[in-house]
Amino acid sequence: MTQAVQYSAVGGPEVLELHEVPEPVAGPGQVVVEVEAAGVNPIDAKLRAGIRPGAAFDKPRGVGFDGAGFIKAVGEGVDGFRVGDPVAFGGATIGDGVGAYASETAVKASGVSLLPDGVSVEQGAALGIPAGTAYQALRSLGVRSGDTLLIHGGSGSVGQAAIQFAVSWGAKVIATTSARRADRVAQLGATPVGYGEGLVERVRNAGEVTAILDGFGSDEVLAQSFELLADRQRIATIVSGAKADDLGIRAFSGGSPHPLTDQQEAWRAEALPVTLALIGAGAFDVELGDRFGLARAADAHRDLAQGAIGKLIIEPEGA
């Protein structure tokens, strides 16, 4: 038997329970990972709370998509991995009852990447959704050298990844942020702009925006974006997808009724090995936050809702 955090009904953090479950088996095209760290993402909490609709379920659902650890078993048809390899992964299948918040989990080998020397399991676990979302969104917007990218919500995990990708590609980046997080945004290479009255003018003073990524999601932020950039096809949201069609902007997940294209899915998959290599080369920084044992997953979700700084990590061996 192994341990996994599950829930049987949507609700508050208290619905998360730690259960003993059968050990996962590596099916064709899968590997089993002994999980050392799992990343806590906003989508985990949104699905748990029913804020983001998920598939109907009549059995306990697992929690968490991203993690890192060591290969425990390799399924039929899988090449390139051996038992004991240190890896990071994304795309754990929560519908099977065991997600990334578990002692071990079975995942598709296509979503697994080897951890380079010098990259910790905590760093690897922090990347799947944030780095994949940022990388794919910026590729879809065609961000490159010569662009001035505005990121709404620059200090979050997706925002920080987007800053670093865009800067590395030669773009200028302006990022909205709170005063307490401005130094972090600047450290990553962006020009920080404070929230609140006068934001549009402050952004204009910082540069002429040619692309916008919205990671904040309010109507006010979207209205400000329209003042700053006329071309709505170079405005994308990752949180207000349900509104995108009516507003004429682009949306990548975030409640969008449109699935990602094959190309966009490929970019998301590409992001994990690319980002791991950048970390290994000292060219990408991950801001880690507090750690929680499996039994304290509910506390992690409470802290997430309170705006905890840094990527929160679930550690199966933690207290």
Q: Domain residues of the chain, as ranges?
A: 2-126+286-315, 129-251
For domain 129-251, which architecture applies? 3-Layer(aba) Sandwich (3.40)
Cα–Cα distance, 7 to 5 (Å, whole number): 7
pLDDT digits over 243-298, tens only? 999 999 999 988 889 999 999 999 999 999 999 999 999 999 999 999 999 999 99
How confident is the model at residue 56, as a pLDDT? 73
**Could you tell me the fold of the domain covering 2-126+286-315?**
Quinone Oxidoreductase; Chain A, domain 1 (3.90.180)
Phi, psi of 164 (to 5 degrees): -70, -40
Cα–Cα dist 304/314, whole Å: 12
Residue with tokens 């990527």: 311
Give me the residue label for tokens 């906003």.
Answer: 42
**pTM, full prediction:** 0.96
- pLDDT for res 317: 82
Q: What's the mean pLDDT in 206-214? A: 98
Averaged pLDDT score across all residues of the chain: 96
**Mean pLDDT along residues 185-205:** 96
User: Residue 94: pLDDT band by 50, 70, 90 thresholds?
Assistant: confident
